[in-house]
Amino acid sequence: MRTGKGPVYWHAMSPALDLLSRVFGYDSFRGPQQDIIDTVVAGGDALVLMPTGGGKSLCYQLPALLRDGCGVVISPLIALMADQVSALRQLGVRAGCLNSALDPAECAATERALRGGELDLVYIAPERLTQHRMLELLHASRIALFAIDEAHCVSQWGHDFRADYLALDLLHREFPGVPRIALTATADERTRAEIARRLELQSARHFIAGFDRPNIRYRIGLKNNPRQQLLRFLAQEHPTDAGIVYCLSRRKTEETAAALTAEGYRALPYHAGLPPDVRAENQARFLREDGIIMVATIAFGMGIDKPDVRFVAHLDMPKTVEAYYQETGRAGRDGDPADAWMIYGLQDVIKLRQMMAQSEGSEAFVRAEQHRLNAILGLCEITTCRRRALLAYFGEELPQPCGNCDTCLDPPATWDGTEAAQKALSAAYRTGQRFGVNHLVDVLLGNTTDKVVQFDHQYLPTFGAGGELDGNQWRSVFRQLVGMGYLEVDVEGFGALKLKEACRPLLRGEERLALREDPKPVRAARKKATAIPEDVDPVLFEALRECRRELASAQGVPPYMIFHDRSLRDMCSALPRNAAEFAAISGVGASKLEKYADSFLAVIAGHLAGSQETGLVVGTES
Ligand code: ADP
Ligand code: ZN
């Protein structure tokens, strides 16, 4: 291995920091990484809770390199193992995997390497690990540590439960001297306790990182023309980025993907109704190619480990805050700015309320569902920091408003909607609680429609009593009333709005109601949450991307495995001219320096030569 990176400071570095820089090309640890690594290197057990993108992998990869023997990683997602192994091999780490998807010859070779002490890390599927043969092999090999990834799979309450995980408590008994580290991104305390109990990790140190994803910008807007809104968002902010667009129905994913394709985007549909080979192909393209937009139902996402997803857009509202957080969490794993963008409208509220009303179960269950639905609706209508509300939902307190969500960046106006709400409720009441929002708006506005005449609603005192607002404003009032639980949607009654007990004090004038002023059709963000900041030369960035693309496709790996966007950006601003300067770029370790420095240095040199001719280099006198 090369010893050229920052040699002056080297002697003072801890071995972990030294490896971090030499192998991974990073110059500092994030959050609790260092503590966790020190604990495991010293032989202690650890239970690690970190959000997606927090940097869990390093917490076992580095100790595996620092300790004698091979690190054994237990992971439930066979599909991801190969990717993890290629990423490690790019870094010059000796890695392999053992699972049922591999051919026997490959497995045999990996097993030999493990036994011979020629592996730094091996990924094993849980069902294979607990086989007698495998245990024998492990006993015959030197094991540095066991890492149990996605440790929440031991929880029978969660939806990712894997029976094979339950048997993992044998590790403790079979290999008492080998440290174990369990990792998960699942927040709640009950699951954490269950992990500790089931995996016999009672004496493990717990490391709990906050759940915030500060690089994700949360934005929730009103739905008026979804297709146009999405197109505008993409054109203005993510014209060439990879992202996910979530829709509720299969048909809508296909229609939206087709519409995006017609506009020149590289968009693919994904839902459970597609033939398995099409699904696999679309997913592989999303991972392997740059800038693909996946238009998907919630069937897409589990185990998608793509670091450079720059946006997650929701065209329909998810059912719960948990789902929203998990889906948006797929954006920006690499820590670069990313957008969580959602539009919603009254129809979403009605649809979800109806779905909820149809759900069956005990009274307690229905109450819990109701609570969850109210929470997501509340998040949409909130006029204060969205991140704060999100984190509060998960029991975490954010001391300051975040400054990186739409309500922080563009505080919404509120108005005293008490009187309007009273009129709206009265319109619903006086028409017999049998009509949907459009008819109620007609009544308030005094529109003499056929339906109004048919039911003699032109004689009601509320008829025409709402001239101070227009149709859209009234719809906004109704939406917020449903969202806040003053009105409910009748399931059988085609969206008829009915009064709920909660509106009594409001009608009696004992309560005042602040309503959110709906923003004008979604404005452009003040500052784009794109991965390319203004000071980066887009021509050079594109040239570097192209170089990355070629190197990636020659090896059949995704471009981000060559370098993350952050490294390319670093190259744009540092403009390295030789290997020593290239080594200082984030993400450049010894292995990548050797493999890729020449290609990228040539692109940069070519660019500098070209722009010198035209006088375009920043800082060059014209
Ligand atoms: P998780 O498994 O927690 O979702 P990963 O381990 O995949 O997260 O890490 C997320 C991203 O952050 C990866 O691209 C990784 O290379 C990067 N990363 C992790 N630790 C550091 C660090 N100390 N410095 C810079 N980048 C890091
Ligand atoms: Zn905020």
Q: In the prediction, which pLDDT does 347 show?
A: 84
When pLDDT is averaged across residues 271-298 and rounded to a whole number, the result is 93
- The set of residues, in sequence order, having a beta carbon less than 8 Å from that of 168 and lying 6+ positions away, is 74, 126, 129, 130, 148, 154, 198, 199
Q: Whole domain around residue 25: which residue ranges?
A: 3-208
Q: Which residues pair with 487 in a beta bridge?
A: 499
Same-domain check for residues 166 and 132 = yes
Same-domain check for residues 134 and 117 = yes
Strand extents, DSSP E, 66-215: 70-74, 95-98, 121-124, 143-148, 180-184, 205-208
Beta carbon of 215 within 6 Å of any ligand 1 atom: no
When pLDDT is averaged across residues 296-307 and rounded to a whole number, the result is 84
Q: Kindly report, residue by residue over 575-608, the tens digit of the pLDDT.
A: 999 999 999 999 999 999 999 999 999 999 999 9
User: Of all residues in the chain, what percent carry a pLDDT higher than 70?
Assistant: 92
Same-domain check for residues 193 and 282 = no
**Residue given tokens 């040239």 in the structure block:** 543
Q: Kindly report, residue by residue over 509-547, the tens digit of the pLDDT.
A: 899 998 988 866 545 444 555 555 667 888 999 999 999
Number of domains in the chain: 4
Among the three residues 184, 208, 232, which one is the final residue of a domain in this structure?
208
Among the three residues 162, 181, 208, which one is the final residue of a domain in this structure?
208
Among the three residues 516, 546, 575, which one is the final residue of a domain in this structure?
516
CATH of the domain at 243: 3.40.50.300
- Nearest ligand to the CA of 398 is 2
Beta carbon of 29 within 6 Å of any ligand 1 atom: yes
Same-domain check for residues 442 and 317 = no
- Dihedral of the alpha carbons of 373, 376, 381, 387, in degrees to the nearest 10: 160
Ligand 1, closest atom to CA 564?
Answer: 14
Beta carbon of 56 within 6 Å of any ligand 1 atom: yes
Same-domain check for residues 104 and 202 = yes
Same-domain check for residues 34 and 160 = yes
Same-domain check for residues 250 and 326 = yes
Mutate to test the pocket of ligand 1, among 73, 84, 333 (most ligand atoms within 8 A of CB): 333
Beta carbon of 21 within 6 Å of any ligand 1 atom: no
Tokens representing 322 are 């948990």
Mutate to test the pocket of ligand 1, among 18, 20, 30, 90 (most ligand atoms within 8 A of CB): 30
Beta carbon of 394 within 6 Å of any ligand 1 atom: no
Same-domain check for residues 249 and 291 = yes
Residue 127 lies in a domain: yes
Same-domain check for residues 602 and 468 = no
Q: Kindly report, residue by residue over 475-511, the tens digit of the pLDDT.
A: 989 988 887 888 887 766 677 889 998 899 999 989 9
Beta carbon of 50 within 6 Å of any ligand 1 atom: yes
Strand extents, DSSP E, 408-464: 414-416
The whole-angstrom separation of Cα 545 and Cα 558 is: 12
Tell me which H or E stretch contains 198. helix 189-198
Mutate to test the pocket of ligand 1, among 20, 21, 57 (most ligand atoms within 8 A of CB): 57
> Does the pLDDT of residue 174 top 90, yes or no?
yes
CATH of the domain at 511: 1.10.10.10
> Does the pLDDT of residue 619 top 50, yes or no?
no
pLDDT tier at 7 (50, 70, 90 boundaries)?
very low
> Considering the chain, what is the average pLDDT of its residues?
88
The answer to whether the predicted template modeling score (pTM) of the entire model surpasses 0.75 is yes
CA of 279 to the centre of ligand 2 (A): 36
Residue 70 lies in a domain: yes
CATH of the domain at 571: 1.10.150.80
Same-domain check for residues 568 and 549 = yes
Q: Kindly report, residue by residue over 454-463, the tens digit of the pLDDT.
A: 999 999 999 9
Q: Kindly report, residue by residue over 409-456, the tens digit of the pLDDT.
A: 988 888 999 999 999 999 999 999 999 999 999 999 999 999 999 999
Same-domain check for residues 468 and 599 = no
Same-domain check for residues 150 and 224 = no
Beta carbon of 256 within 6 Å of any ligand 1 atom: no
